[in-house]
Each structure stands twice: as structure tokens, then as C-alpha cells.
Amino acid sequence: MQDRLDTLAPRVAYLQRASKLGNDAYAQQVAEHMRQAMDSDDRSLVPVFHTLTAGLDNLRHALDVAIRNYDAADDEAARHIRRFKFLRRLPLALGR
């Protein structure tokens, strides 16, 4: 998904520029109107796209942290189990 968003980023950036409709006042007004339709408030396409990419970055980071924490907890549990197994066998090794 991130790869697809990366390929869309230049196209979204392109939408932030005014269209080249001409130099007269009306053409400039229409071009600005079209630009604002893409990037005028937080519900427009450009800000929504940026919010989506930031949200995916945050999700990726949160998943990385969760996986590291899970792995650390799993390693710690495995150490305790190995210690428990060792202590359980210790009386047998000592002849008790």
C-alpha cells in the first residue's frame, strides 16, 4: 500500500498547483477555483491524502513497537520456562 501511495504523491502534489488555463482574469479565476477544490480545507483531497500517509506511517511505527514488545515478552517468558525446567530437574541431578 505504501508503494502505491508513494507513486501517487507526485500526482497529488501536481494537484496543488493552479491549472494552466490561460492568462486572462477568468482563466486565472477558474484555475484557482480548481486548485482550491483539491486543497482548500481538511476534507479536500490533498490534505486527506497527507493525513492518510501520516496515519499509515504511525500505524507502521506502532506495529513495529508492538512486535518488539511482544518479542521481548516472549524471550523473557522463554528464559523463565528454561529456568523453571532446570530447577525442576535439579533435585534429580542431586539425587533427591
pLDDT classification of 96: cutoffs 50, 70, 90: low
Distance CA 54, CA 22 (A): 35
pLDDT classification of 18: cutoffs 50, 70, 90: confident
CA end-to-end span of the chain, whole Å? Answer: 61
- Identify the DSSP state of 56: H
User: Per-residue pLDDT tens for 32-90?
Assistant: 999 999 998 999 999 999 999 999 999 999 999 999 999 999 999 999 998 888 777 76
Report which residue type is found at 72.
A
pTM, entire model: 0.68
SS (H, E, C) 63-85: HHHHHHHHHHHHHHHHHHHHHHH
